Amino acid sequence: MIEQSITYIKNLIKDPKVASVSPTSANVIAKMLKGVDFESIKVLVEYGPGDGVITRELLKRLNPDAKLIAIELNEPFVRELGKIDDQRLTVVHGSAEDVRSILSEQGVHDVDLVISGIPFSLVRYRTRVKILSATRVVIKTEGSFLVYQASIQLKSLLQKYFKDVSVQYAWKNIPPLFIFRATGRHHRPSRRQGRKAR
């Protein structure tokens, strides 16, 4: 754990968008994944997986024929993720706002679950909107979007794209995190949101 934290700190110095000084705790992972029906998941997408702490846990739970697509912008983390030897995992060096084209390149049309560790508070508003808009489109009607954040700030924006947004708080982490579960996608964001995004 100390070695992993050092890796995170080094990446934080090089890339301010790395929002954490340590890997996500087991407490957060357990809370976030509780209730997820892994038996029904065929395709799962992970945004901002970092060095793969959650990625490895997902692979433990996914079926042998499932697919996990991990999208990571930070190059050192991409190299670290590449060390995971599992044919179900595809690591993409890119941005979550391009998830639609990334999935198309993988021959995937829609997904059952998206999990995000992107620090949205450090991302400009227009990019947040692009990511949430694209995510709403690629998730199946009955699918879910799980997001963990250090701030409650994202909730109101999530509610513009998803009908139901619930929140849990996981304090056994550095920093403590809010866990959002968004389901029931809205087909269109509100006009007010659209004007602000311009």
The whole-number average pLDDT for the span 71-87 is 96
User: Poorest-confidence range of 14-23, 70-79, 136-145?
Assistant: 14-23
Model pLDDT, residue 12: 43
Mind listing the pLDDT tens digit for each residue in 91-105?
999 999 999 999 999
Tell me the pLDDT band of 50, cut-offs 50, 70 and 90: very high
Of the pLDDT bands very low, low, confident and very high (cuts 50, 70, 90), residue 112 is very high
Q: How far apart are CA 188 and CA 44, in angstroms?
A: 23
Residue 60 pLDDT grade (very low, low, confident, very high; cuts 50, 70, 90): very high
Binning pLDDT at 50, 70 and 90, where does residue 24 land? confident
Long-range contacts of 102-107 (CB under 8 A, 24+ apart): 102/69, 102/71, 103/45, 103/69, 103/138, 106/67, 106/69
pLDDT value of position 152: 95
To which CATH superfamily is domain 2-197 assigned? Vaccinia Virus protein VP39 (3.40.50.150)
Whole-number pLDDT of residue 187: 66
Global pTM? 0.84
Per-residue pLDDT band for 186 (boundaries 50, 70, 90) equals confident
**pLDDT number for residue 74:** 93
Of all residues in the chain, what percent carry a pLDDT higher than 90? 74
pLDDT of residue 10: 46
Transcribe the chain into DSSP letters. Answer: -HHHHHHHHHHHHH-TT---SSPPPHHHHHHHHTT--GGG-SEEEEES-TTSHHHHHHHHHS-TT-EEEEEE--HHHHHHHTT---TTEEEEES-GGGHHHHHHHTT---EEEEEE---GGGS-HHHHHHHHHHHHHHEEEEEEEEEEESSSTTHHHHHHHEEEEEEEEE-SSSS-EEEEEEEEE-SS--HHHHHHH-
